[in-house]
Structure 1
Amino acid sequence: MEIDELTPAERTVWEAFPKGRPVDFRRTADESPADGGGWGPERTVRAVVLKALLLDGPEERGEVAALKLAGARITGGTDLRYATVDHIVRLSDCFFDGVLNISGTQLRYLNLSGSHLPGLTGARTRVDGGLRLTGCRFRGPVRLGGAQIAGALYLEDAEITADGARPGPVLQLHQVTVGEDLCASRLRTRGEIRLNGATISGSLRLEEARLSGPGDFVLNAEALEVGANVLGRRLSTDGRIDLRGARIPGRLDLLYSRLSNPGGTALRASSCVIGEVWLRDGETIRGRLNLRRSQIDHLDLAPEMLPEQVRLLDLTYTSLTPHEPPERRLPMLERDEDTYDPHGYEQLTAAYRRTGDDHAARLVQLAKQRRHRTTLPWYGRWWGRVQDATVGYGFRPMRALGWLLSLLAIGSVAFALDAPPALKADEAPPFNPVFYTLDLLLPVISFGQESAFAPRGLQQALAYILVLTGWILATTVIAGVTRTVSRQ
């Protein structure tokens, strides 16, 4: 392109390029690029001029050429598909009339901070440094699927909407590779962010982000792999987050968050391997929480954040905080939509035992047996109620002693008032109502009283009741002790 074909604004940019001098058309520091559609020719640059500069622009010996432009209106679509750009590109606070297309392009560094664009297409692009989209406003989708970014990807304070665009994600980052952090704090989107199969060597930062897509995905990140953390402190979502199969060695931080997707799944983190999950100090989740089959080293979960529907089948965790009484933790197992799953009760029991709270662990095991009872046929439920009432399934052994002492008192008083006659008066030992009652209650031990006396009428009915009750107590105590011993 000849320099005499350029407008005064374009000539200024052209002459600054060889030495990498910045060109700033902004009139005030606080002007908004949203008004860029009305900027005049004194700050308008054609996209074809920028393309010519980047691909075949003038250079000077001893200088580092670079395109550094601020506050310009860039007209026409910028098409750099499959090009190799060896220069630093910084187009900050600019207004783009057309979509910037860098699909398959190899870049050293690209900075579009504060700019307004109708969209960005960059599938399979490669950036040797960082890609900075801080504070950008996109009126259409951003497509960076399969991109390879050696440095960090910056999306802080960016806003992405795609009203009127064809259906699909507003931010496509599937199969993207980021060598450092993906920084998206305070990001605002209206539509789906797709991060399926993405690999981020550092952390995914979503602090104070606002993601909206009611009834649909807001973050679809199946099989996401990060090298450190997913930080979503004070994250607010209206739609579904899907992290199925994610690998997060650090922490999934959702402190102070607001997750909402009424009638659907608000957070799905199933089949994940996560170091720590922090889910507390925020609003109650509106929608379903799914943590099925995940492996979590430390689960920091506040009961008040749990929704009415949870799915915890085969969830495994090593420690659970904050320390809450079983009455606060058990509802999360009872809200599970799946059928009775003993694994969840065993996990909660193990968490209490690691903290030395054996009493809480026993209460969880008792709740497990009661939940299991609801799945049995009528005769199993009847027998379970007997074990529960007598010895609390072996977790309340003192209850059996109470039953025994009560029955012993009743029998002793009844037989003391009306002693049964001896079978052989000359051979029978002296009658003792206490030991006679013990003979009836204890099916194994014999004090020689039961065989020497023969109750009649109401005495015989009472004797039958005591014998039957004694066998039931003995059976339930043995079953409870056996269960306790095998568990330990």
Structure 2
Amino acid sequence: MEINDLTPAEEQVWRAFPLGESVGFRTAEDEDVALGRDWGPERTVRAEVLRALLLNGPQEAGEIASLSLEGARISGRLDLQYATIDHPVRLRYCYFDEVPRFYACRLRELNFGDSVLPGLTAHAMRVDGVLRMTRSRFHGVVRLAGAKISGSLFMESAEIIAPDAEEPVLQLNQAAVGDDLRASGLRTDGQIRLSGASVAGSVNLNTAHLSNPGDSTVDAEVLVVEGNFLLREARVDGWIGLRGARIAGRLDLSYSTLSNPGGPVLLASSTTMGELWLRQSPPMQGGLVLRSAQIDVLLLEPEALPEQVFLTSLSYTSLIPHEPAERRLTMLERDGDGYVPHAYEELAAAYRRVGDDYAARNVQLAKQRRLRGTLRWYYRIWGYAQDTTVGYGFRPLRACTWLLSLLAIGSLAYGLHQPPALKPSEAPHFNPVFYTLDLLLPVISFGQEEAFAPEGWYQYLSYALIITGWILATTVVTGVTRSVSRQ
């Protein structure tokens, strides 16, 4: 392209390129770039001119050429697919008439900060530095699938609204980011696809507003994040999918409002993560799915829980903050998979690891009661007997209370009405206390029961004491056996 074919605005950009100088056409600091379609020729640059500069622009000895342009309207399509660009490309506060095409392009640096674009096509693009789209506004799909970015991806306060799109509005599936993905304040209307992506640093979506009601807002299956995945103070309308993801640091959903009524709001089955934080948030509107997830530290406040959770095969090392077992059991009672024994064992183990054996016993007792509801009626009767008498072995002092109460009743009854001796000449001296103990204790004998035979209703009382004694003895042995096996 000859310089004689350029407009004054384009000539200014052409002359600045080999010197690495910036060209700006902004008329005010607060001008709205969305009105760029009305900008005249004095600040319009054809896309073909930028393409010619980047592919075969003039060079100046001793200078580093770069394209740095602000406040321009880019007319036509900027098509650089398959190109290798050795110069930094900075197109800030620019308005693009058509979707730029960077498919399989290789660049040093790309900056669309504060610009307005109808979309971006950059599958398999490679950026050896950073990709900046801070405060950019996209009115179409941003395609970065398979992109490789050596540095960070900056999307703070960016906006992606593509009302007619039938595909994810932000496509980062199979992408590789060599540092952080910084997108705090990001606003999207549609799905963000991160499936198969890898981020060597952290993902920051704090204060983001992600909307795709009734569908996936973030599809991040088998995502790998070597740092943290931050989604604090955010609003999410739709569900977040993290099935099979691996997050080395923490998944932080603190202070966020997550809503997907009638379906899952966080789907994190088979996920491995260092920490999961759910605190200082309103209750999730939707299900929490943590089936087969592995978490080192689960920071979960009961108030943040939704009405339904799915915890089958969930494993965790620490559960904080430390709460009474009664508050934690609510979570297990909301399990949509029904009675899940493993969930009770995990909770009890977490309490034992911090030395709270009392809470661990309460969890084990709740597990037995929940199990009782799944059994046949005749097993439930036996379960109620064990629960009432010794709390399935987790309340052994109850047996002492029952025994002492029955001992007092029997001793008083037989003390007031001594049963007749079977062989008066051979009978020992009658003692109502030891006679009652003989009836209650099935193994130990004091020689009283064989020598005396009560009559009338006192005989029925003796039968009741014998049966109750056997039940108490059996349940005590069952509880002790269970405690020994746990140890």
Please give the alpha-carbon distance, in whole angstroms, between the structure 1 residues aligned to 2:144 and 2:49.
24
Please give the alpha-carbon distance, in whole angstroms, between the structure 1 residues aligned to 2:241 and 2:159.
21
In structure 1, the partner of 2:42 is: 42
In structure 1, the partner of 2:266 is: 267
Aligned to 2:461, the other structure's residue is in SS state: helix
In structure 1, the partner of 2:203 is: 204
Please give the alpha-carbon distance, in whole angstroms, between the structure 2 residues aligned to 1:256 and 1:183.
19
Q: How does 1:106-121 map to 2 (within 5 A)?
A: 106-121=106-121
In structure 2, the partner of 1:299 is: 298
In structure 1, the partner of 2:158 is: 158
Please give the alpha-carbon distance, in whole angstroms, between the structure 2 residues aligned to 1:143 and 1:284.
34
Aligned to 1:245, the other structure's residue is in SS state: coil
Alpha-carbon distance, 1:457 to partner: 2.0
In structure 1, the partner of 2:136 is: 136
The code of the aligned residue for 2:110 comes to L
Please give the alpha-carbon distance, in whole angstroms, between the structure 1 residues aligned to 2:43 and 2:220.
41
Aligned to 2:291, the other structure's residue is in SS state: coil
Please give the alpha-carbon distance, in whole angstroms, between the structure 2 residues aligned to 1:216 and 1:79.
33
Count of matched residue pairs: 487
Q: Once structures 1 and 2 are overlaid, which stretch shifts more, 347-356 or 32-41?
A: 347-356
The code of the aligned residue for 2:485 comes to S
Please give the alpha-carbon distance, in whole angstroms, between the structure 1 residues aligned to 2:362 and 2:327.
12
Q: How does 1:366-445 map to 2 (within 5 A)?
A: 366-445=365-444
Please give the alpha-carbon distance, in whole angstroms, between the structure 2 residues aligned to 1:306 and 1:315.
16
Q: How does 1:110-259 map to 2 (within 5 A)?
A: 110-165=110-165, 167-259=166-258
Q: How does 1:461-476 map to 2 (within 5 A)?
A: 461-476=460-475
The code of the aligned residue for 2:373 comes to T
In structure 2, the partner of 1:62 is: 62
Please give the alpha-carbon distance, in whole angstroms, between the structure 1 residues aligned to 2:433 and 2:467.
18
Please give the alpha-carbon distance, in whole angstroms, between the structure 2 residues aligned to 1:304 and 1:377.
35
The code of the aligned residue for 2:294 comes to Q
In structure 2, the partner of 1:347 is: 346
TM norm structure 2 = 0.99
In structure 2, the partner of 1:337 is: 336
The code of the aligned residue for 1:220 comes to D
Please give the alpha-carbon distance, in whole angstroms, between the structure 2 residues aligned to 1:87 and 1:189.
31
1:312-351 residue CA offsets vs partner (Å, 9 max, x unmatched): 1111111111111111110100000113111111111111
Alpha-carbon distance, 1:399 to partner: 0.5
Alpha-carbon distance, 1:175 to partner: 0.2
Please give the alpha-carbon distance, in whole angstroms, between the structure 1 residues aligned to 2:409 and 2:21.
103
Alpha-carbon distance, 1:233 to partner: 1.2
1:220-270 residue CA offsets vs partner (Å, 9 max, x unmatched): 000000111101111210001011111111111111111111111111111
- Identity of counterpart residues, as a percentage? 64
Aligned to 1:428, the other structure's residue is in SS state: coil
Aligned to 1:451, the other structure's residue is in SS state: coil
The code of the aligned residue for 1:247 comes to R
In structure 2, the partner of 1:356 is: 355
Aligned to 1:101, the other structure's residue is in SS state: coil
The code of the aligned residue for 2:83 comes to A
Please give the alpha-carbon distance, in whole angstroms, between the structure 2 residues aligned to 1:339 and 1:72.
61
Q: How does 1:8-27 map to 2 (within 5 A)?
A: 8-27=8-27
Please give the alpha-carbon distance, in whole angstroms, between the structure 1 residues aligned to 2:163 and 2:374.
50
In structure 2, the partner of 1:319 is: 318
Q: How does 1:448-487 map to 2 (within 5 A)?
A: 448-487=447-486
Alpha-carbon distance, 1:456 to partner: 2.0
1:286-313 residue CA offsets vs partner (Å, 9 max, x unmatched): 0111111111100100000000010011
1:47-100 residue CA offsets vs partner (Å, 9 max, x unmatched): 011001100111111111110000000001111111111111000000000001
Please give the alpha-carbon distance, in whole angstroms, between the structure 1 residues aligned to 2:423 and 2:226.
87
RMSD: 0.8
Aligned to 2:30, the other structure's residue is in SS state: coil
The code of the aligned residue for 1:148 comes to K
The code of the aligned residue for 2:158 comes to A
Alpha-carbon distance, 1:416 to partner: 1.3
Alpha-carbon distance, 1:482 to partner: 0.7
In structure 2, the partner of 1:77 is: 77
Alpha-carbon distance, 1:19 to partner: 0.7
**Unaligned residue ranges in structure 1 (runs of 5+):** none
The code of the aligned residue for 2:95 comes to F
Please give the alpha-carbon distance, in whole angstroms, between the structure 1 residues aligned to 2:163 and 2:101.
20
**Unaligned residue ranges in structure 2 (runs of 5+):** none
Aligned to 1:13, the other structure's residue is in SS state: helix
Aligned to 1:372, the other structure's residue is in SS state: helix
Alpha-carbon distance, 1:132 to partner: 0.4
In structure 1, the partner of 2:7 is: 7
Alpha-carbon distance, 1:164 to partner: 2.2
In structure 1, the partner of 2:364 is: 365
1:424-451 residue CA offsets vs partner (Å, 9 max, x unmatched): 1110001111111100000000000001
Please give the alpha-carbon distance, in whole angstroms, between the structure 2 residues aligned to 1:111 and 1:31.
19
Alpha-carbon distance, 1:43 to partner: 0.1
Please give the alpha-carbon distance, in whole angstroms, between the structure 2 residues aligned to 1:445 and 1:219.
68
1:345-391 residue CA offsets vs partner (Å, 9 max, x unmatched): 11111111222211111111110110011111111111000000000
Please give the alpha-carbon distance, in whole angstroms, between the structure 1 residues aligned to 2:74 and 2:200.
34
The code of the aligned residue for 2:392 comes to Y
